[in-house]
Amino acid sequence: MPRATANTHRPDPGLVAVITYDGLCTFEFGIAVEVFGLPRPEFDFSWYGFTVVSAEGRRSRAIGGIVVEADAPLAHLRDASTIIVPGWRDRNERPPERLLRAIAQAAARGARCLSICSGVFVLAAAGLLDGKRATTHWRHMPDLKRLYPGIRVEEDTLYVDEGNVITSAGSAAGIDACLHLVRRDFGSKVANAVARRLVMPPHRDGGQAQYVVAPLQVRPGRTIGEVMDWARARLAQPIAIGTMAKRAGMSERTFLRRFDEATGSSPASWLQQERMARARELLENGTLSLADISVQCGYRSLETFRVAFRRSVGTSPAAYRARFAARPR
């Protein structure tokens, strides 16, 4: 496999610190290790530094009888650029004050914080989510609303990005949130390479539903997935929802319902996400003009493309290219 490259002028992504404590959720902890802590020989640029920081003594007893030995004490958070909080052991138990102070101090100096599942209760107790949007596992939402009424809880999303604070839903959504952070730092090509190593889809947008029905076989040989593949191959063309429904062998009304059941999204929203993913890929990997990229992604107006890209990605196409486009070596 060819080695992926990134802009040599980009700054080092810094140190990622994942917090451990007794009752640690092992799957969420493993997500942080897998995405940020493994060696990445496939890349020829600086990857994240990684450390395990204990909130309660050097050793933590994790769920499943596993004992985790931390690399550093809580004070080491002062060196972290990114802090990962796995699921908290008891959402009705206030986390240790030392932990909350350390996280709040790190955030005040600019560290990013990312919670997975019930880890949101730690960030909330540290005061990082007041007046902000956040999410968590759907089972924990009533308690999050009750304990922290100042948070705007997003009820049907995989993750919420509020700049320096990212919260994610149930355990597997933590993978999406971590890949989203990698995408923010390195661009889509690198994030997709990490997803490939995880054997994960390259991108699930944060706005997708937490829980969706498994994709349905609508007729022998015809699935929603096949229609999605057909549309992906034609992103440069106008794609009407009625045309997608016809290919699926359904009425438009039935198709809309089945598509939502299978993906947690509407066909129009899904097409927009696919067009933006294609735009990011072309901006990173090629030398096409913005006008050509606009056309290849199905936009006949360059200005409409610019507006859609900024709304979706948070920056202009030109700025995105300047940050993430591959440079000659």
Q: Which residues carry out catalysis?
A: 117
DSSP tag of 216: P
Torsion-angle region of residue 31: left (phi > 0), alpha (psi -120 to 50) or beta? Answer: alpha
Helical (H) or strand (E) element with 20? strand 15-20
Read out DSSP for 89-118? Answer: S-TTSPPPHHHHHHHHHHHHTT-EEEE-GG
Q: Do the Cβ atoms of 176 and 158 come closer than 8 Å?
A: yes
Contacts of 289 (CB under 8 A, 6+ apart): none
At residue 52, the 3 state secondary structure works out as: strand
DSSP tag of 37: I
- Distance, in Å, from the CA atom of 211 to the CA atom of 231, rounded to the nearest integer, reads 24
Which amino acid, one-letter code, is at 211? Y
- Distance, in Å, from the CA atom of 86 to the CA atom of 102, rounded to the nearest integer, reads 16
